[in-house]
Each structure stands twice: as structure tokens, then as C-alpha cells.
Amino acid sequence: MSLFEEAKKVIAGGVNSPARSFGGVGGDPVFFKSGKGAWIKTEDGRDMIDYVGSWGPLILGHSYSPVIEAIKEKINDGLSFGAPTIIETELANKVREFIPSMERVRMVSTGTEATMSAIRLARGYTKRDIIIKFEGCYHGHSDSLLIKAGSGALTHGVPSSPGIPKSLAKETITLPFNDTQRVRDAFTLMKDKIACVIMEPITGNMNMIMPIPGFLEAIKEECTASGAILIFDEVMTGFRVAKGGAQSVFNISPDLTTLGKIIGGGLPAAAFGGRQDIMSYLAPEGPVYQAGTLSGNPIAMLAGLVTLESLEEKDFYKNLHNKCDLLMTGMLKLAKNHDLPLEVNYLGGMFGFTFNKNGPIKNYEDITNSDINLFKDFFHGMLAENIYLAPSAFEAGFISSAHTNKEINLTLDATKKVFSLLQH
């Protein structure tokens, strides 16, 4: 019996998170055994170049030795206390240094908790109920946010999940990404009822989509004018597209920011934070309740701290971006030679590519109208060549500092081979 069949007998659907299944591309998921740098080893003994990096956290590659060594030493002091430890303050200071809009920080364990808590805080602070989100953006799987969501929800055809009370869904307004006028109209209609706007400033859960010029600025302006809270969900883009996240790239300070993935360096850690006056509404200082037994776990905090410190290396993001550039421009050239309609986006260590006859991807509608079948064939072709891409046309790709020209050239060789098969 296959490993996946075994798993399915005891784990719901055989996976502990739907994005891991191959629901978006067909076939059985690959079981991983170990990873080192840019490479993973599978349970059936294959070595593959990894462009998923545990869905984002592993910006330094698998088994990055400074993180592994630090953790090995630290675990001898105990795994969890549920009481304050110095390392929590140290990581919070580092986060604020990288992202100055996060004047106060609260550590949690997952991105889902971070966004759920930020929404509650925004509602508590503004004493309003309505939230605005964008079609195809994914903010974790809490009730208010699983409406027209991206990532696994989109891949598996359930962007709006059953199990969410209608009364709650009513409080979530979903608008198309990159449509400034629709944002302005929503604020004109409901301005004093909107608690917050939550968004991925660069999307990564309906593939990678950049905001068009003026879009983020207009949202910031409307939020400020109406007293709504602007939440940038940088769980994916934080420390990924730039040291200071997407907000540093576009020079826009949100009121609250959510972080995850890289902040835990591969262990479960996430955070939310922002304006001090808003964050002081959180218990124990304020009335909005939020808590967590394992929040700020010292081992996870240390993995995060050593990871963030490693990002301070000179030209770290420039080098990452150059590697993405090599991969993406290489793929574009090959696509052109083979007459395939490839569109790409990339920044820092994050990239996205789509097969789309109608040009660049700007929103959810564009990505759902792209050639998903061509992506599936490309994915399986690359997998056969030992290149592991995200198993869904709606996900972004990630490059780590451990990816060298060697891995990228191997990937382009594989791409060339697969493209010539696709063309025929």
C-alpha cells in the first residue's frame, strides 16, 4: 500500500493541510524525508530541487545550520514555560527594527491566529463590524476570512467554505483586487461601518500578483479618512520580498501587520502588531481578548531570531532577487521559443508564473481564467525531472539563499525539456 493510502486510513484526506495534497494537479502527494539547502530527499529516494520551502518559511534553505545548532543547544533548557522569556523580547525588537510600523508586537503560533486576532482587535478598537477583503487573498482559515479565499481553498474549489454562519459572512465584504474604484465605492456606501481592510499587499495565494500603482495608496487614504484600520497581511511577504516586507517596498505604513512563515524559521511562530494605541486595546492592557498556551515558544522564537539575523547580511535580498530574475527570465525566453504564453512576477525571494493568453494577471478573475491544464502538465513534467514546484496554479514559488546558479540552471534545463513536450 502506498504511503498516501496508509495516511488516508488515519488522517482526514491523508494530509494535515489541504494545500499539501495534489488536489490542484492530480496524483498522490510526494512524501518528504529530509532536506538540505535547496534540495529535498523523498521517501522513495529521489533528490529534488525545492521551490516551495515549506510554503515560505525556509528563506535560508532546509536545515540551515546556524538555526539547527542554536535550537539543539537551547532545547536542553526546556521546551516551553508558558511564562515570559527573554528571547520573546529579543525577537519582538528585531521584528520592530525590520518593520518599524509594528510599534507593539504580539507573538502567536500560526498565521491564521495572527490574522484572526488582528481582525478582532480592529473590530474591538473601532467598535464596527464590517471587514473588507479581496477576492483570492488568503488570510488563514478563521470564519470571517474564509470567504472568497485563495490558496488551498481556491485550489480545492471551496473559496467560501460551508460551516461559516451567514450572519458572519454578511459582515465580510469581498472586492476584486486592483480595482480602486470598487474600494472607493464601498467606503462611500458604508464608511462609518467599516472596521478594517485586510489584504495581502502583494498577493501570493492566487499566484503572485502585484498591486497596480495607486491601489494601495487609495486604500490607505480611504482607511485614514474613515477611521478604518488597514491590515497588511504579510504572513507570506514579510521578510520575503524585502527585509521590511511589502510595506517597505511601497512605502506605505499599515495600522496593523500580520506575520508568519519566515518569522518562525521553520517552527510554528507568527505575530501581529502595529500602532501602539491599537495594540494597547489587547488584553491584559485592554478589553480585546487574545491568548495562547504556546505563544512565544522559546524554541520557535530562537529559530525565528537566528533566521532574521541571517537576513541582515549585505545584499541578501538583492542576491535573492537576482536568482529569481535568472530563473524567471530564463523561463520566459524558453516559453517564447516554444510559443507558450507565460506570464511572470517576482520580487526578492518570491515568484509566480502563469500560462495566460490574455497577458499579465491582475486579479482573481484573470488567474481563474488562465490555462490551469497547461500548468498541471508542466507541474507533472517538472516533478518527473525532480523539480518540486507548488502543486497548484494558484500558489507562489519561493527561492532560498541556498539556491545557487547550479540549481537554477538545472531547473531551466528541465523547463526546456518539459516545454518541448508540452508544445507537442
Ligand X SMILES: *Cc1c(COP(=O)(O)O)cnc(C)c1O
d(CA 317, CA 313): 9
Return the residue nearest ligand X (CB atom).
Answer: 111
Nearer to ligand X, 334 or 393 (CB): 393
Q: Nearest distance from residue 258's CB to ligand X, in Å?
A: 7
Binding to ligand X (CB under 6 A) within 225-284 occurs at 233, 235-236, 260, 270
Nearer to ligand X, 248 or 415 (CB): 248
CB 127 within 8 A of CB 141: no
CB 186 within 8 A of CB 132: yes
Q: What mask of x and - would describe binding to ligand X in positions 98 to 137, judged by CB under 6 A?
A: ------------xxx--x----------------------
Which three three-digit cell numbers place residue 324?
Answer: 529569481
Q: Does 211 bind ligand X (CB under 6 A)?
A: no
Q: Which of 50, 233, 255, 366 is catalytic?
A: 233
Nearer to ligand X, 143 or 377 (CB): 143
Q: How far is CA 35 from CA 38, 49, 64, 147, in A?
A: 8, 10, 10, 35
Q: Nearest distance from residue 150's CB to ligand X, in Å?
A: 8
d(CA 203, CA 139): 11
Which three three-digit cell numbers place residue 167?
Answer: 450572519
**Residues counted in the chain:** 424
Q: Does 415 bind ligand X (CB under 6 A)?
A: no
Q: Nearest distance from residue 154's CB to ligand X, in Å?
A: 12
Q: Does 295 bind ligand X (CB under 6 A)?
A: no
CB 324 within 8 A of CB 110: no
d(CA 400, CA 240): 10
Nearer to ligand X, 61 or 201 (CB): 201
Q: Which of 133, 261, 323, 376 is catalytic?
A: 261
Nearer to ligand X, 236 or 242 (CB): 236
Nearer to ligand X, 395 or 407 (CB): 395
By CB under 6 A, the count of residues binding ligand X is: 15
Which range of residues in 32-40, 198-206, 302-310, 340-348 is near ligand X by CB under 6 A? Answer: 198-206
CB 393 within 8 A of CB 367: yes
Q: Nearest distance from residue 149's CB to ligand X, in Å?
A: 10
User: Is position 261 annotated as part of the catalytic site?
Assistant: yes
Q: Nearest distance from residue 187's CB to ligand X, in Å?
A: 23
d(CA 401, CA 319): 8
User: Is position 138 annotated as part of the catalytic site?
Assistant: yes
d(CA 375, CA 379): 6
Which three three-digit cell numbers place residue 29?
Answer: 502527494
Q: Nearest distance from residue 78's CB to ligand X, in Å?
A: 24
Name residue 171's beta-bridge partners. Answer: none
Q: Does 21 bind ligand X (CB under 6 A)?
A: no
Q: Which of 133, 139, 148, 403 binds ligand X (CB under 6 A)?
A: 139
Q: Nearest distance from residue 244's CB to ligand X, in Å?
A: 16
Q: Strand, helix or coil at 272?
A: strand
Q: Of 345, 340, 322, 320, which is closest to residue 415 (Cα–Cα)?
A: 340
Nearer to ligand X, 117 or 356 (CB): 117
Phi, psi dihedral angles at 199 (to 5 degrees): -155, 155
Q: Does 138 bind ligand X (CB under 6 A)?
A: yes
Q: Which of 51, 64, 125, 138 is catalytic?
A: 138
Q: Which residues contact 416 (CB under 8 A, 6 or more apart)?
A: 334
Name residue 265's beta-bridge partners. Answer: 267
**Residues recognised as catalytic:** 138, 233, 261
| Chain contacts with ligand X (rule: CB under 6 A) | 110-112, 115, 138-140, 200, 204-205, 233, 235-236, 260, 270
